[in-house]
């Protein structure tokens, strides 16, 4: 039974559309669905709507559970196969309004201020620290999960998760190497790719240790613990 964790399940429209589609998909109908949010009222509304979809269109096959608050976030993530992110940090009022109004004050007008430009940058800066927390906890309780991002600014947040979190970075590198080696019929090329990845990983792990030695306060806790496991999977 797959487990799908929806972060920001209080985003009722996104939760309904994404998870409704999942419950209409044969491979995902029997999923365990973990709904996580920090707003109890909106979480309850989403649970009611998704419960109705599960009952009326899915014959009650899915097992839907709710998790409220940061203290329950890790349990929502535990054992997940897919983590869907649809959070909004700061809400529409004041943060989204501020993203428009302050730039406008200085002559910078935006059509949609959540994807590009100064509004997108400000939204990314608010959201990235929370995504880093998600990544740290995913690395601990669901290291093999796929992270599916629905939160804007899409490019900035997805880029951050891929480049600067240990789980996202290694998942990208390992799957890239695996794709190349599987598609190659040349045994020598396969060995070269695998050897290169091992050398590359050792160099980067050594670099992290060197940075830590120079600055023990540096935040590498999401990098070091998964290093041996990640290298072993290549």
Whether this prediction's pTM lies above 0.75 is answered by: no
Q: What are phi and psi of 81, to 5 degrees?
A: -95, -30
The pLDDT of residue 3 = 97
Q: What is the pLDDT along the chain (234 residues), one digit of tens a residue?
A: 899 999 999 999 999 999 999 999 999 999 999 999 999 999 999 999 999 999 999 999 999 999 999 999 999 999 999 999 999 999 888 998 999 999 999 998 888 778 888 899 999 999 999 999 999 999 999 999 999 999 999 999 988 998 888 655 555 544 545 554 455 455 555 555 555 555 545 544 444 444 444 444 443 333 333 333 333 332
Question: Which residues lie below 8 Å from residue 83, measured CB to CB, with a gap of 6+?
Answer: 4, 5, 7, 77, 134, 138, 142, 145, 146, 147, 148
* Partners of 7 in the β-ladder: 36, 85
The pLDDT of residue 53 = 97
The pLDDT of residue 205 = 45
If you write DSSP's letter for every residue of 140-168 in order, what string do you get? Answer: HH-TTPEEEE-SSSHHHHHHHHHHHSHHH
Q: How far apart are CA 127 and CA 136, in angstroms?
A: 15
How many C-beta neighbours within 10 Å does residue 107 have?
6
Q: What are the Cα distances from residue 134, in Å, to 139, 163, 182? A: 9, 15, 31
* Partners of 83 in the β-ladder: 5, 147
Q: How far apart are CA 161 and CA 145, in angstroms?
A: 13
The pLDDT of residue 44 = 98
The answer to whether the CB of 77 falls within 8 A of the CB of 8 is no
Question: Six-digit token pair at 10?
Answer: 């209080």
The pLDDT of residue 230 = 35
The pLDDT of residue 194 = 58
């Amino acid at each position: 039974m797959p487990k799908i964790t929806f972060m920001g399940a209080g985003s009722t429209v996104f939760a309904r559309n994404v998870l409704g589609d999942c419950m209409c998909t044969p491979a995902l109908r029997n999923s365990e669905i973990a709904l996580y949010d920090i707003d109890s009222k909106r979480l309850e509304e989403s649970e009611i709507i998704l419960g109705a979809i599960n009952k009326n269109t899915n014959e009650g096959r899915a097992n839907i559970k709710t998790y409220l608050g940061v203290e329950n976030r890790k349990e929502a993530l535990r054992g997940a196969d897919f983590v869907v992110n649809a959070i909004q940090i700061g809400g529409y009022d004041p943060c989204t309004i501020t993203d428009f109004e302050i730039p406008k004050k200085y002559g910078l007008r935006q059509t949609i201020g959540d994807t590009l430009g100064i509004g997108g940058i400000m939204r990314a800066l608010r959201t990235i620290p929370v995504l880093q927390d998600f990544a740290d906890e995913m690395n601990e309780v669901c290291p093999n999960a796929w992270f599916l991002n629905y939160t804007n600014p899409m490019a900035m947040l997805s880029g951050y998760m891929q480049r600067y979190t240990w789980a996202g970075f290694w998942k990208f590198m390992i799957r890239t190497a695996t794709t190349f080696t599987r598609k190659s019929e040349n045994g020598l090329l396969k060995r070269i790719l695998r050897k290169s990845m091992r050398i590359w990983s050792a160099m980067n792990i050594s670099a992290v240790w060197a940075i830590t030695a120079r600055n023990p306060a540096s935040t590498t806790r999401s990098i070091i613990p998964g290093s041996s496991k990640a290298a072993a999977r290549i």
